[in-house]
Homo-oligomer: A and B are copies of this chain.
Amino acid sequence: MTKQRLVAAIDIGGTNTVFGLVDLDGQILLKETISTAHFPEPEDLVHGVCEQIDLAMRLFDSKYVLAGVGIGAPNGNYFNGTIEFAPNLKWKGIVPLAKLFSNRLKVKTVLSNDANAATIGEMIFGGAKEMTDFILITLGTGLGSGIVSNGEIILGHDSFAGEIGHVIMFPDGRQCGCGRKGCLETYCSATGIKQTYADLLMSRHRDSHTKVQNGTAKYIYGKALQGDADAITAFNQTGEILGLALANSVAYTSPEAIFLFGGLAMAGDFIFKPTIESFERNVLNIYKNKIKILPSQLNENNAAILGAASLIIKALNIS
């Protein structure tokens, strides 16, 4: 009997690393979570993860063979297989993580940033299966993005393409963590909508600011569900800016669809309706009523691991 192929999928986060084994249909046969911060050296994390993978593969040995490893990581450089100066990790400088895994597991290993992994995940296992041109926007603490054109992810000459969250929307706008002002992600992200909501409250109740700052985007969503006018306005303002940004984005790559992923995208019509309304109002004529804005079809709990798995499935061309 021919053995079926599995891939190892690893998602490196600032707090936790999630890893697992995934088959070519996207079935997750193993999923584990360990603390990234627990490993001051990347070699130690690689050792720990590989021990677990080895053990699991021995259990699966009769039916499966390990075909490769895919890694999603902050500041991941696909070309070099490295994590480069990731501000949220303890590992400093340039970490050759793909090489550490491939040396240990003796299979091809690829690494990319989290947003690119999620994007390939959407293409292999999600809503973009039949698409060659689409954009994925991740709405989390910040705004990440991956752009697929001609069936390939756009990496750019240095693997750092797809930073739509850092398009400057308002040159004198909100201070961004990148040091500049008015970046899209200062408005359209969990952080952004919290600020917008706080600003709306502040304009009427001077004392409510602190409370909102400690809340979450989910809290604002809950408020909107209850009919809170400020919460609904916060979603509308966020969608207005996001729609304009997406209208500008399609002038670059004319995608078939744009997928929204992450916490804010879970707010359904509260975010999709004003975004689509602003998009269609602001977009160039030739793109009007042609481009779908859709929720990601990946389950948020498994998106990171399926994204990492997709990276290697795509690289091996075995989907």
Partner of A164, one of B147, B251, B256: B251
Residues of A147-189 contacting chain B, CB below 8 A? 147, 149-150, 152, 154-164, 166-168, 171, 178-180
- Looking at A163, A180, A252, the one whose CB has the most chain B CB atoms below 10 A away is A252
Question: Would you call B284 and A161 a contact (CB within 8 A)?
Answer: no
Cα–Cα distance between A154 and B152 once the two chains are bound (Å):
11
- Looking at A147, A156, A163, A255, the one whose CB has the most chain B CB atoms below 10 A away is A156
From A31-39, A57-65, A94-102, A241-249, the one touching the partner chain is: A241-249
> Whose C-beta in chain B lies nearest to the C-beta of A166?
B284
Partner of A160, one of B150, B247, B254: B254
Q: Tell me which residues across on chain B come within 8 A of A256, comparing CB atoms.
A: 157
Partner of A156, one of B156, B157, B164, B253: B253
Q: Flag whether A132 is at the interface (Cβ < 8 A).
A: yes
Cα–Cα distance between A133 and B132 once the two chains are bound (Å):
18
From A14-22, A264-272, A285-293, the one touching the partner chain is: A285-293
Q: Number of copies of this chain in the oligomer?
A: 2
Q: Tell me which residues across on chain B come within 8 A of A250, comparing CB atoms.
A: 156
Q: Tell me which residues across on chain B come within 8 A of A166, comparing CB atoms.
A: 251, 284
Q: Tell me which residues across on chain B come within 8 A of A164, comparing CB atoms.
A: 251-252
Q: Tell me which residues across on chain B come within 8 A of A163, comparing CB atoms.
A: 251-252, 254, 284, 286
Question: Would you call B157 and A255 a contact (CB within 8 A)?
Answer: yes
A contacts with B: majority SS: loop
Given A167-B248, A247-B168, A251-B166, verify A286-B160 contact (CB < 8 Å). yes
Partner of A253, one of B150, B161, B284: B161
Cα–Cα distance between A210 and B318 once the two chains are bound (Å):
65
Question: Would you call A156 and B282 a contact (CB within 8 A)?
Answer: no
Q: Tell me which residues across on chain B come within 8 A of A284, comparing CB atoms.
A: 163, 166, 178, 180
Question: Would you call B252 and A160 a contact (CB within 8 A)?
Answer: no
Question: Would you call A290 and B255 a contact (CB within 8 A)?
Answer: no
Shortest Cβ-Cβ A-B pairs, 6 listed: A156-B254, A161-B254, A157-B256, A133-B157, A163-B251, A167-B248
New A-B contacts (15) at CB < 8 Å, excluding given A156-B255, A180-B284:
A131-B157, A147-B252, A149-B161, A154-B154, A156-B250, A156-B254, A158-B254, A160-B254, A161-B252, A161-B254, A163-B284, A166-B284, A167-B251, A171-B282, A180-B282
| Residue contacts A-B, CB under 8 angstroms, 27 given | A132-B157, A133-B156, A133-B157, A133-B161, A147-B253, A149-B155, A149-B156, A149-B161, A150-B155, A154-B253, A156-B250, A156-B255, A157-B254, A158-B254, A161-B252, A161-B253, A161-B254, A162-B251, A162-B252, A163-B284, A164-B252, A166-B251, A167-B251, A168-B248, A168-B282, A178-B284, A179-B285
